[in-house]
């Protein structure tokens, strides 16, 4: 049975009586089938011009890979800073003259403080050994008549005292202890890093907006050319009664395919970039005695990247279609 499109009130269609009997399910079924046909058809059209399509996909992919790559980089820096942020450490450098006994006493005293979670002592001798091993100054140190290194106590504050304000309060208290020559809290770099991260995030956001607009324009322009190329077809279909939605549909799908393909290429670019960087980063991390591994895009990140790209493609096509297609009337 024919599924005639809904005849709007003022127009009678002579098969209208039977058409109106066609139930919604059949009509919906036909609509879905048409979408399936059009989506397949527009994909085939892209594949029929592989070079053009691949170039467009690459342009979109590169434009998307830039901001997304920046986000990935920021995510990694943030992850690193979190790692260090979590165990904000205060180093106490004791006076050279402090006896082993008073060191012992100090240790016990500190252990009783509720602000302190962990405590690690590096004795002068340990420090010297370690320094000799890794600094490469072993020969020079041999010539010194006494050990110039102080005893260091590394203090890990409890979580409440791990933030900037809490750690600074604790620092003051520790600095006031007589055996302590210097109490050092390395928090300033964390603050600086946080500020820099914020700048970076703004930058990435700006890039996302600009490059997304670029993607919209690229897709819009590509679709405009496509519309020009299919002008005859559009006019003929309009003459035989195609609705605007029907005429628009293949172009919107084309935009969607461009976007999705571009998003897919962007995720490949990022994956390849990460693979290239992973080894040097691991080496670098090793030099800092860390086993840090680069964070990539999770699967859900990737899916949202594809979706974002698809949506961009769709809307790029939409703008182009509403600007150029609706104006294309048979004359």
Partner 1 sequence: MIQFDNVTKRYDTGHEALKRVSFHIKANEMVFLTGHSGAGKSTLLKLIMMMEQPSDGQVLVDGFDLGAQSRKHIPFHRRQIGVVFQNHQLLFDRSVFENVALPLQIAGYTPREIGRRVRAALDKVGLLEKEKHNPITLSGGQQQRVGIARAVVHKPKILLADEPTGNLDPELSSEIMYLFEQFNRVGVTVLLASHDLSLITGMKHRMLTLSDGAVVGGFD
Positions touching partner 1 (CB under 8 A) are 1-5, 7-8, 10-15, 27, 30-31, 34, 232-233, 235-244, 246, 329-331
In the complex, the smallest distance separating the C-beta of residue 7 from partner 1, rounded to whole angstroms, is: 6
In the complex, the smallest distance separating the C-beta of residue 8 from partner 1, rounded to whole angstroms, is: 5
Strand arrangement of the beta sheet that strand 152-157 belongs to: 116-122, 152-157, 90-94, 180-185
Pick between residue 183 and residue 247 the one whose CB is nearest to partner 1: 247
Cα angle: 211, vertex 214, 216; to 5 degrees: 115
In the complex, the smallest distance separating the C-beta of residue 259 from partner 1, rounded to whole angstroms, is: 25
Pick between residue 184 and residue 230 the one whose CB is nearest to partner 1: 230
In the complex, the smallest distance separating the C-beta of residue 38 from partner 1, rounded to whole angstroms, is: 10
Q: How would you classify the pairing of strands 152-157 and 116-122?
A: antiparallel
Task: Measure the N-to-C terminal CA separation of the chain; round to a whole number of Å.
Answer: 34
Pick between residue 95 and residue 231 the one whose CB is nearest to partner 1: 231
In the complex, the smallest distance separating the C-beta of residue 47 from partner 1, rounded to whole angstroms, is: 15
Pick between residue 27 and residue 184 the one whose CB is nearest to partner 1: 27
Neighbours of 294 (CB within 10 A): 19
Pick between residue 31 and residue 189 the one whose CB is nearest to partner 1: 31
Beta bridge partners of 220: none
HSE, side-chain direction, 13 A CA sphere, residue 21: 5
Pick between residue 41 and residue 125 the one whose CB is nearest to partner 1: 41
CA-to-CA separations, 321 to 17, 147, 217, 221, in angstroms, rounded: 34, 79, 12, 10
Decide: 255 and 313 in contact? Cβ < 8 Å.
Answer: yes
In the complex, the smallest distance separating the C-beta of residue 39 from partner 1, rounded to whole angstroms, is: 15
SS3 for 157? strand
């Amino acid at each position: 049975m024919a599924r005639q499109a809904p005849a709007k009130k003022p127009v009678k269609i002579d098969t209208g009586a039977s058409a109106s009997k066609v139930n919604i399910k059949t009509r919906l079924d036909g609509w879905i089938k048409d979408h399936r046909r059009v989506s397949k058809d527009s994909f085939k059209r892209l594949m029929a011009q592989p070079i053009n399509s691949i170039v467009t996909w690459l342009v979109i992919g590169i434009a998307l890979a830039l901001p997304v790559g920046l986000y990935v980089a920021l995510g990694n820096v943030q992850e690193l800073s979190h790692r260090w942020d979590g165990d904000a450490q205060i180093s106490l450098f004791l006076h050279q003259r402090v006896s082993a006994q008073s060191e012992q006493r100090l240790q016990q005293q500190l252990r009783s403080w509720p602000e302190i979670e962990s405590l690690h002592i590096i004795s002068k001798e340990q420090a010297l050994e370690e320094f000799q091993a890794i600094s490469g100054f072993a020969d020079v140190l041999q010539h010194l008549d006494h050990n110039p290194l102080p005893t260091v106590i590394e203090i890990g504050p409890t979580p409440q005292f791990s933030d900037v304000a809490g750690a600074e309060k604790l620092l003051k208290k520790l600095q006031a202890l007589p055996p302590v020559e210097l109490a050092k809290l390395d928090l300033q770099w964390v603050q600086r890093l946080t500020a820099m991260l914020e700048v970076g995030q703004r930058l990435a956001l700006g890039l996302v907006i600009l490059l997304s607009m670029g993607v919209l324009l690229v897709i819009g322009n590509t679709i405009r050319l496509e519309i020009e190329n299919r002008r005859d077809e559009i006019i003929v279909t309009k003459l035989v009664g195609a609705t605007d939605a029907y005429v628009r549909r293949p172009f919107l799908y084309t935009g969607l395919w461009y976007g999705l393909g571009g998003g897919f290429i962007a995720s490949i670019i990022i994956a390849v970039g990460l693979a290239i960087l992973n080894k040097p980063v691991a080496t670098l991390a090793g030099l800092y005695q860390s086993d840090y591994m680069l964070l990539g895009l999770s699967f859900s990140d990737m899916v949202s990247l594809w979706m974002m790209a698809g949506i961009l493609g769709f809307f790029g096509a939409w703008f182009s279609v509403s600007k150029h297609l609706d104006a294309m009337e048979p004359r």
